[in-house]
Structure 1
């Protein structure tokens, strides 16, 4: 079922900033840029813009930026990755600085002005790994009832005989005392599980795991997208894998990564990220230059391909992450383009695209939203100017944007997105954003957790009805 290439709607803007050394992670690790993000020293030709800290968005203010206390026995601090919130607790993943193994750090958010770190978990389970992504959901299956955390595990070096990749499962019903339940392992030949998502389907708990390059490095033995039943967290079972060759436009000799696309270009195809709607029925899978691929997963043993987003022939695809708006009828797709001068493509860092998906077999492009960073090509190749992750609350879209901090965008009319604010901490390097009922959480790679509150909100515990 082929989709037509959609034309581009280019919105212009520019911002001139200075730079300092920085080190970034190219998910397109087989391409022309192969460097690590999450470290502040290294490649002298890679830089991150220095932006002045503005602690206020138009309608939000920074309520807390707690000092990250060292939790490792060797006294070294890790860099930080994604952030999630569940039942009044924040869960902060860690990245690769100082050898990884920083685990997930848990903060009690009863008083958002004073988050208290109460636990760390998944940090000593598998040597030579890092724990970037965590999803926490309330789960009720025949084998487990409580709050379940799934944590991505990636190898620093796949040649390390002691490391392995996949995802860990923890009981966090009592977040101050996490308990390990199980581990799901993917092929040793790839880094492991990069991003993942957890949902309930009736009395079953299902994880969608993104294992970049599993197809390529295992020569088709394992696939980048895997559906795993974790109803018994101690015994996760793979149900299904996605083979891109099921799509008409992918040739039978496809073996992961290199795709001779209909526009005549050779494009990268791998699974970077997964997410599932609130019903547990529809999955949105970020497959880089194959776009955001939409599945009906109501039967997780046999998901059905519905449709996918497409790109103009001058656009690098780089479908990185997705979220939904307007009751699931609008898809937000962020594109992590880190090389804005790639030959044959438009000169731009990654920006956001918004689709009408009422007909999931035929996503229709409504608009494209560019921030003031994405056309700044003066500082060389850097992740700092590209968009990263999207989250939606009501009619407001929040975008984490590395050097740009967090942008707030009014999508009341998804065809006409309008920037309404920006939050930029000092030495901004914001990886993730998460919207809870009463606050916004941000994770900065270098400095950790940030808490934002609405300007008219109280920070007293009584106002935070999230327990």
Structure 2
């Protein structure tokens, strides 16, 4: 089937609206009147008839769109897509809340990147939940050897008395055979907590750990459970909490902090909660995205006794919104993405969320090197047109070599040269028609993008002219 292709302009991107029905969250859920909502979800046939643009230069100039495939129907329902991860030639896609959630994690075989085949669904057994994040790693412990998947679980309606079997937390699966996932364990949180939004699976020798981001756990439980927790999953059938962090340990956080409303040193009351976490490759340090408290850095060599090292800070007129992080330059550079969907606010600059880059050679003192914005950042409509939209904010970062890949909702995937982190330069952009790109994952052989409404997108390297874009930015027809 032929697909028509054209270059999506910045002006078009700026006009895309993200309509919503029932609210679902992956940002600051306690902020008033802000919801990602449910996007339009396309059928596979509709996806095949949508167009896309891909422009680039330097090391991304020869990418091409190899495939665009929607998730399969589940019990007659078309779920929509959340984050994406890849391991050993298989893609793992989380699902969001469209059409009632419970879409589980979808597994795609990528042997032929131009023809991804959905081969399994798992982590869909807890009712009224959604599964946004999945991390897969090869693990070798005294209790388990193979490929382990850690999956975040969130209730669609927190603490709902009519849904007594719904609860959030983390599911653990054996995916050594990705076509036949086997449930191993469940670390469940109290039902007063929505659940685990993001997580990160890592290893220290023969020990396996999962770091959890449980937004508002502190707030909802009055400090009993914390937003950032470290869980030992060395025995995946018996996950154990090793440690959790109390932000009140910081001198700038008052002892009467309620778990959300932070009386910041600049005199503003700012939101502070844990949205996301990553570690470096050898699990020596953790980077915790604590919204307006910044990206908080810990030494986790001893995971029972982590040590606070430092955190990023913001200008008085800058919303924090530390959403996600990535590392570059051997762990000496920190990428921080800020998900700001409402670009206006008394006392703050007018801007949607953008990216900040830090030198963290000294992790006790992160130094801002640069800030990367796009044409979307300052494309703010008049009040009458509405200013709250996720279409124009950055979302998640990934790094491969000296290239930073940013998922950007209606902007698709933005590619940035960070050879000089003090001077980031946009070198490419992949934008599906009606783009709503949640996640991006970079592998040696391909770049994966998860589009909330359109499923899995696969970009591969090829000769210029073979794909939908070439090094001078002109579109070519894809057969």
Q: 2:356 maps to which residue?
A: 353
How many Å separate the matches in 2 of 1:451 and 1:422? 14
Q: How many matched pairs?
A: 434
1:55-454 aligned at under 5 Å gives the runs: 55-58=54-57, 59=61, 60-70=63-73, 72-73=74-75, 75-123=76-124, 125-158=125-158, 159=160, 160-378=163-381, 380-454=387-461
1:388: Cα distance to partner? 0.1
Query: Structure 1: how far apart are the matches of 2:404 and 2:54?
Result: 19
Q: Distance in 2 between matches of 1:448 and 1:137?
A: 23
Note the C-alpha offset of 1:148: 0.1
CA-atom RMSD in angstroms? 1.8
Structure 2 Cα separation of the partners of residues 202 and 38 of structure 1: 41
Bigger shift: residues 350-359 or 246-255: 246-255
Note the alpha carbon deviations across 1:190-248, whole angstroms, 9 max, x for none.
21000000100111100000000000000011000000000000000000001001111
Shift of 1:68: 2.8
Given that 1:216 and 1:255 are in contact with CA atoms closer than 8 Å, whether structure 2 keeps it comes out as yes
Q: Do the aligned partners of 2:16 and 2:410 also contact (CA within 8 Å) in 1?
A: no
What is the CA distance between 1:26 and its match in structure 2?
5.8
Cα drift, residue 27 of structure 1 = 2.2
Counterpart CA distance in 1 for 2:173 and 2:414 is: 32
Q: Cα offset for 1:374?
A: 1.2
User: CA distance change for structure 1 residues 190 and 458 in 2, over 3 Å: closer, same or farther?
Assistant: farther
Q: For residues 341 and 26 of structure 1, do their structure 2 counterparts lie closer, same or farther at Cα, with a shift above 3 Å needed?
A: farther
Counterpart residue number, 1:48: none
**What is the TM-score normalised by the length of structure 2?**
0.88
Q: CA deviation at 1:255?
A: 1.9
Provide structure 2 residue ranges, at least 5 long, that are not aligned to the other structure: 1-9, 42-49, 467-479
Change (3 A) 1:457 1:391: farther
The answer to whether the 8 A contact 1:106-1:118 is kept is: yes
Partner of 1:462: none
Query: Structure 2 vs 1, CA of residues 115 and 19 (structure 1 numbering), >3 Å: closer, same or farther?
Result: closer
> How far apart are 1:21 and its partner, in Å?
4.8
Assess if the C-alpha contact under 8 Å between 1:25 and 1:38 holds in 2.
no
Tell whether 2:28 aligns with 1:19: no
Please, which moves more after superposition, 180-189 or 400-409?
180-189
Q: Deviations over 1:23-54 (max 9, x none)?
A: 3736222223342334339xxxxxxxxx9731
Task: Say whether the 8 Å CA contact 1:26–1:34 is kept in structure 2.
Answer: no
| Offset from partner CA, 1:303-349 (integer Å, 9 cap, x none) | 00000000000000000000000000000000000110122110000
Q: Is contact 1:336-1:351 (8 Å) kept?
A: yes
Query: 1:67–1:339: structure 2 CA closer, same or farther, 3 Å change rule?
Result: closer
Over 3 Å counting, the alpha-carbon distance change for 1:34 and 1:190 in structure 2 is farther
Q: Secondary structure at the match of 2:185?
A: strand
Following superposition, the deviation at residue 407 of structure 1 comes to: 0.4
User: 2-side partners of 1:280 and 1:38: how far apart?
Assistant: 35
Q: Say which SS state the counterpart of residue 190 (structure 2) adopts.
A: coil
- CA contact 1:26–1:37 (8 Å) conserved in 2: no
Match of 1:4 in 2: none
Give 1:110 shift: 0.9
Structure 1 position 99, deviation (Å): 0.8
SS of aligned partner of 2:395: coil
In structure 2, the CA distance between the partners of 1:171 and 1:52, relative to structure 1 (3 Å rule), is closer
1:130-184 Cα offsets, whole Å, 9 max, x none, are 0110000000000000000000000001113220000100000000100000000
Q: Deviations over 1:337-381 (max 9, x none)?
A: 011012211000000000000000000000000011111111521
Q: Is the 1:56–1:62 Cα contact (8 Å) retained in structure 2? A: no
In 2, Cα distance between the equivalents of 1:299 and 1:247?
A: 20
TM-score using structure 1 length: 0.90
* Contact preservation (8 Å) 2:71, 2:80: no
2:30 matched to which residue of 1? 30
- Secondary structure, counterpart of 1:208 in structure 2: strand
